Amino acid sequence: MEFCTRLSIVVDLPNSKSDRWGGGVTAGEMREMQWVEPELVAQVRFVEWTAEGRLRHAAFLGLRSDKSAGEVRREANEFTS
């Protein structure tokens, strides 16, 4: 599934483990989902990446018209602990 390997949001799927934000997604549920290609790019402010690869305290700032979805990459950490 090439599409899943390109996006950090889905690389750990299927994962039926529940967390504090809700239930996971099983392989059976994934077969019934309709996957789409990203078209829009959003500017998001956040505090940090969690150990699970999720954004902590994220806030939507707006859409960007200066980048295509294909150009978006995860930013490297500017500061290290």
Mean pLDDT to the nearest integer, 31-47? 89
Give the pLDDT of residue 6.
45
Distance between CA atoms of residues 31 and 64, nearest Å: 31
pLDDT category at 58 given cuts 50, 70, 90 is very high
Q: Same domain, yes or no, for 22 and 7?
A: yes
- Count how many domains the chain has: 2
CATH of the domain at 78: 2.40.50.140
More confident residue, 18 or 45: 45
Residue 71 domain boundaries: 38-81
d(CA 78, CA 81): 10
What pLDDT is recorded for position 1? 36
Q: Find out whether 54 and 48 touch, Cβ atoms under 8 Å.
A: no
Q: What is the pLDDT of residue 32?
A: 87
Same domain assignment for residues 78 and 42: yes
CA distance 42 to 61: 7
Residues facing residue 43 across a β-bridge? 62
pLDDT at position 34: 86
* Same-domain pairing of 81 and 57: yes
Which DSSP letter does residue 46 get? -
Structural tokens at position 28: 């059976």
